[in-house]
Amino acid sequence: MPIEMHHEHDTTYRLDISRSLGRSEFAACAARLAAAIRQQGAVKLLCVLHAFEGWESHDGWSDMGFYTKNGDAISRIAIVGNERWRDESLMFAAAGLRRAPVEYFPESGLAQARAWLSAETSPSNKHERP
């Protein structure tokens, strides 16, 4: 499966994303995440791109339903992956639109991403290149 959701601890959920992500797989994961948000409240996301090949072509990617219903319940997003996917991933995560800070980390930065998610600093929405 190109996307799998795991409850890491407390309010942190990890999304393991690999290969080519399809709209239907993403929608199924979004439904599970929405259920977790309803049960738990605000969550933090750790998105790990492994052997990621991009997004399948589909008209439905412009659907902002999940974002409008649940976007404010996501307090931080850390994305870990190959530098090749930085700009597209930040755009997909709506880094410039959402209130929550979004940060991109290199493939070797998983521990750094977890530490950043755990930090309780003021939101900076910092997503510039290092």
Per-residue model confidence (pLDDT) at position 122: 45
pLDDT at residue number 16: 98
Quick one: pLDDT at residue 95?
92
Cβ–Cβ under 8 Å, residues 43 and 36: yes
122: Cα within 13 Å, side-chain hemisphere: 0
Which of 62, 49, 47 minimizes the C-alpha distance to 19? 49
Look up the CATH number of domain 3-118.
3.40.50.10600
Sequence ranges of the domains in the chain: 3-118
From the list 65, 68, 21, 23, the residue with the least C-alpha distance to 47 is 21
**Distance separating alpha carbons of residues 49 and 63, to the nearest angstrom:** 22
pLDDT in tens, 85-100: 999 999 999 998 889 9
Q: Is the pLDDT of residue 116 over 80?
A: yes
Global pTM value: 0.89
